[in-house]
Structure 1
Amino acid sequence: MLKFDSQLFLQTVGKDAIAQRENIEKIVDEISARGFRNLFLIGAGGTIAMMYPYEYIFKSSSTLKVHAEIAAEFMVMNHKHFGKDSVCIFASVSGTTKETVAAAQYCKDRGATTIGLVADPDTPLAKIVDYCISTGHEKHSFDTFFLHLYMLTFRFMHNNREFPLYEQFTSEVALLPEAMLEAMESFEQRAEAFAIRHKDTDYHMLVGAGNLWGNTYSYAMCILEEMQWIRSKSIHAAEFFHGTLELVEENTSVILLKGEDETRPLVERVERFAEKITKELFILDTKEFALEGISEELRQYFAISLNWALLNRISVYLERERNHPLETRRYYRKMDY
């Protein structure tokens, strides 16, 4: 695969990430034993988008009260549900994202319990939070963060007696990286073909729902806009027919992200419409991939990781075809704003 080290992926997202399970269980068990009022999932840009799938899982599968909040807005809104008995979870690959670091300090100063997901433990965010969960490296950090967020989410739910599949999850999550790798390998030709076809496309619509909405939002904003300077719009499938449908034309690129949770019919409704109008409909459906060893009951959750991994294969080919490195920026962290 282009620009991909399979063994490194299996080491970092497989062995290293899974090795944190006992540590994460200990953290959650300590917090659960003390008791807490609610959970806040806080981030900025790609990391708030990363939190949305887990907010959806909590809201659709648990009675625990959870709020996903954009860091900068959270600090100015005087959130009436936040307090010293809140548990706040943050993520930052660099550990230096200004808004996220400031929000963590804000929560810590007010007595809330704080958990930080970072790559390097020797960073500002890691030093602020009560509990630091480090990947130990920046490579594949988002893939690893997804696994750690599963562990946090399902352990909190398990301790609340709401996730009877927990033991099954702990065994199957160890199989996920290998299953993801096989899926990426089988997707490689489609990823390359998409990039070749769309290297000059200047606008994409991305549609998703449920636990894939965060990926939809993130890929449009963080990858296509920030890393490739391509105009894009993320549209929730449930809202597509309240405005955006009028912009679809014969050559409009529409990318549908189909998952396996209860919102799948919402995306399929958009699919039925789009296939009648545009010749540039691209469907990324996690259900098409085998995921050997993963049960039907857990596929809907693991679709989050699988979808993101497959989208990243498109990214490396867009980078090549457009001769536009994913690291190139004009403004982000290049100037004061």
Structure 2
Amino acid sequence: MLNISELHHIDVQTGAVALAGEIRSAVHAALADGVQNVFFASAGGVAFLSLPAVKLLQERSTFPVYAPRAAELIENGNVNLGPESLVVFTSVSGTTKEAIAALEYARAKGARTLTLVGTAETPLATLADVSFFNETADDTSSENFLLQTLFVALAIIDYRGESPDWDTTLAEIQLLPNALVEVKRSFEDRAAALAEEIKDEQNHIITSAGNTWFEAWYYGMCILEEMQWVWTRPVHASDFFHGTLELVEDNVSVLLLKGEDGGRALEDRVEAFVPRFSSKLRVIDSRDFELPGVSAETRALVAPVVLAAALERLSAHLEVVRDHPLTTRRYYKRVSY
């Protein structure tokens, strides 16, 4: 495969999964000590990676969960944030200024803080009440944080005796590190062909639903826009038919990510509509990838992780065929703003 260390990817995701038990213990301890709600308050692209976990809690648990943007939390506040809150932050660098400010704000409100970081001995690691470190970078961070925030949600569900069952689900998730590299391998040829196909296209509609919607949103904003300077229009599949459909005509590119939860019916609707008016519907479906030993219920939970693994291959090929390294920026961390 192009520009990848397979062993490194396996090692990072093995490290992510290995923290599941410690994350569970920390979350259980917080709930036993009186925590009554949870906030996921990261800044920037990693915030999207916690939203499948938020959605899981919203749909499977009665435990209150909030997901404000870090910077806006400071400006607007939230009456639910206080000593009975657990606030979760994720960060690759551990130095994101908006996240640090939000963490300090949460601590000032008496909340407990838990951080998941990809770089040790950084402010987000040292300032938190509890911090978990697994070394990760841009090419491995999506799967890493999708998994770790999922563990936070599953730990809450486990503590409260709700579904899905922790032991069964975790046993299956432990199969993922090796399986995700096989996902990448099986997608490699298609990733190369798709990168070549879209390399000169500067505008895309990208859509999905269910828990994979957040991966579509993330990939459009944080990869195609930030790392490739390609304009995207991320739109939820249910909203697609309330405005965005009028933009569809021949040669309009629509990237559709399909998952395996209830949102799939909404994705099917987009898939049926677009080819009637555009020849450029591109579908990436998590069901197309084999995950040996993983049940249908767990597959639905980890579909965002699977799509993130596949899309990393598309990114690797895009930077080559577009002669635009993924690390190239005009403004991000280059000018003050």
Contact kept in structure 2, 1:248 and 1:278, CA below 8 Å: yes
The aligned runs of 1:205-284 (5 Å cut-off) are: 205-284=205-284
SS at match of 1:318: helix
- 2:24 corresponds to 1:33: no
| Alignment match, 1:141 | 141
Q: Aligned partners of 1:323 and 1:303: how far apart in 2?
A: 30
2:327 is aligned to 327
**Distance in 2 (alpha carbons) for counterparts of 1:192 and 1:105:** 44
Alpha-carbon distance in structure 2 between the residues aligned to 1:277 and 1:45 = 34
Aligned residues of 1:108 and 1:128 also touching (Cα < 8 A):
no
Aligned partner of 1:122 in structure 2 is 121
After TM superposition, give the deviation of residue 78 of structure 1 in Å: 2.1
**2:46 and 2:145 in contact (8 A); partners too:** no
Asked if 1 retains the 8 angstrom alpha-carbon contact of 2:50 and 2:150, the reply is: no
- Distance change >3 Å, CA 3–CA 83, structure 1 → 2: same
1:65-214 matched pairs, under 5 angstroms = 65-138=64-137, 140-214=140-214
Q: Following the alignment from structure 2 to structure 1, what is the Cα–Cα distance between the partners of residues 332 and 191? A: 27
More displaced 10-residue stretch of structure 1: 269-278 or 17-26: 17-26
Shift of 1:115: 0.5
Give the Cα–Cα distance (whole angstroms) in 2 for the partners of residues 59 and 302 of structure 1.
16
Q: Which amino acid aligns with 1:79?
A: N
Read off the aligned partner of 2:145 and give its amino acid letter: F
Can you list the C-alpha shifts for 1:142-199, whole angstroms capped at 9, x where unaligned?
A: 3222221121110111101112421111211110111211111111111111100111
Q: In structure 2, what is the Cα distance between the partners aligned to 1:4 and 1:240? A: 35
Moved more, 314-323 or 134-143: 134-143
Q: SS where residue 104 of structure 1 aligns?
A: helix
Once the 2 structures are TM-superposed, how far is the Cα of residue 136 of structure 1 from its aligned partner?
3.0
1: CA distance between counterparts of 2:127 and 2:213?
A: 30
Distance 2:282 2:294 in 1: 26
User: Could you tell me whether the CA contact under 8 Å between 2:142 and 2:305 is conserved in 1?
Assistant: no
- Root mean square deviation, CA, Å: 1.1
Contact 1:48 1:69 in 2 (8 A): no
Which letter does structure 2 place at the counterpart of 1:22? G
* Alignment of structure 1 residues 53-68 onto 2, 5 Å: 53-68=52-67
Name stretches of at least 5 consecutive residues in structure 1 with no aligned partner.
none
TM superposition shift of 1:329: 0.3
Displacement of 1:137 in angstroms is 4.2
Give the number of equivalent residue pairs. 336
Q: Partner amino acid for 1:46?
A: G
Output the TM-score relative to the length of structure 1.
0.97
Alignment of 1:13-28 (within 5 A): 13-14=13-14, 16-28=15-27
Query: Contact 1:203–1:232 (CA<8 Å) still a contact in 2?
Result: yes
Secondary structure of 2:175's match? Answer: helix
Query: Is the CA contact (8 Å cut-off) linking 1:45 and 1:218 kept in structure 2?
Result: no
**Unmatched tracts of structure 2, length 5 or more:** none
The one-letter amino acid paired with 2:160 is N
Q: Distance in 2 between matches of 1:36 and 1:140?
A: 31
- 1-side partners of 2:10 and 2:94: how far apart? 24
**Equivalent residues in 2 for 1:294-305, closer than 5 Å:** 294-305=294-305
Percent sequence identity over aligned pairs: 39
> 2:19 is matched by which residue type in structure 1?
Q
2:287 partner amino acid: K
Q: How many angstroms apart in 2 are the aligned matches of 1:306 and 1:19?
A: 18
SS at match of 1:162: coil
Aligned-residue offset at 1:18:
2.4
**Range 21-30 or range 53-62, more displaced:** 21-30
State the SS of the aligned residue for 1:43. coil
Query: Given that residues 50 and 145 in structure 2 are in contact (C-alpha distance below 8 angstroms), is that contact kept between their aligned partners in structure 1?
Result: no
Q: Deviations over 1:25-45 (max 9, x none)?
A: 221121121121211111222
What does the per-residue CA deviation read over 1:79-138, in whole Å, with 9 as the maximum and x for residues that have no partner? Answer: 122222111000110001111110011001111010111112210111111110111343
The worse-fitting range, judged by mean Cα deviation, of 133-142 and 3-12 is 133-142
Q: How far did 1:263 drift?
A: 1.1
**Runs of 4+ more than 6 Å apart:** none
Q: Distance in 2 between matches of 1:137 and 1:167?
A: 26
